Chain A
Amino acid sequence: GAGVSQSPRYKVAKRGQDVALRCDPISGHVSLFWYQQALGQGPEFLTYFQNEAQLDKSGLPSDRFFAERPEGSVSTLKIQRTQQEDSAVYLCASSLGASEQFFGPGTRLTVL
């Protein structure tokens, strides 16, 4: 497709479950970003990849959060032992570099 896609669009998890969120960036985009957006707030940076290298993971809120991009294309954000405070929309974006970012529609995670 032409844009960034994310799956699933909606995810409901019971507290304590592990979840995996997928991002398919625009083909050829070197940079990939993950953001967490709570209701009524702006997106908060989680982590950044350049190709397969995770260059910045300073925004990951705890060691329960893990992201990977093993082949420099698709990325997965994994959250282990989910907590209620993890409920948010998780946005993925890709770019060619230090230019505009193209965002996916997000995955809305609800932890019960």
Chain B
Amino acid sequence: SQQGEEDPQALSIQEGENATMNCSYKTSINNLQWYRQNSGRGLVHLILIRSNEREKHSGRLRVTLDTSKKSSSLLITASRAADTASYFCAPITGNQFYFGTGTSLTVIP
């Protein structure tokens, strides 16, 4: 399956620290997207990285993509309590999105 698999499943850090989440997938992709979901809410798009890109930044977010290893990482720098949420990667082939089980991030104030 093309489903992304996030690692770790859960992560707890102190406010101000950096948080790194990883994603692995199995087949070739057009692009890969990261989403965030607060408890009881819908998903919010964070960042899209195309298959020919290696790194992308958006504010405190940094995403890397290694197509040879079929993996991606999401780094959140200087974390805040408001970053507490679940984070999902979605490897994209065509129009189909296959989300993994996510990384549950807790940022302790």
Query: Would A42 and B92 be within 8 Å (CB), given that A103-B44, A105-B41, A105-B42 are in contact?
Result: no
A106 at the A/B interface (Cβ < 8 Å)? yes
Interface residue tally for chain A (C-beta within 8 Å)? 26
B residues sitting closer than 8 Å to A (CB atoms) are 30-31, 33, 35, 41-45, 48, 88, 92, 94-102
Mark A residues whose CB is within 8 Å of B. Answer: 4, 31, 33, 35, 40-45, 48, 50, 55-56, 91, 93, 97-106
Nearest CB in chain A to that of B98: its residue: A45
Minimum CB–CB distance for B58 against chain A, Å = 12
Chain B proximity of A45: nearest CB distance (Å): 6
Closest-CB distance, B86 to chain A (whole angstroms): 8
Set of chain B residues within 8 Å of A98, measured between Cβ atoms: 30-31, 92, 94-95
CB A21 to nearest CB in B, in angstroms, measures 14
B30: which A residues are within 8 A, CB to CB?
98
Give the residue name and chain of the B residue nearest to A108 (CB).
B40
Q: What is the CB-to-nearest-CB distance from A96 to chain B, in angstroms, rounded to a whole number? A: 11
4 additional A-B residue pairs with CB within 8 Å, beyond A45-B98, A101-B45: A4-B42, A40-B101, A56-B96, A91-B42
Q: Which residues of B contact A104 (CB under 8 A)?
A: 42
Chain B residues with CB below 8 A from A56, complex form: 95-96
Complex Cα distance, B101 from A40, in Å, reads 7
Q: In the complex, A106 Cα to B44 Cα: how many Å?
A: 12
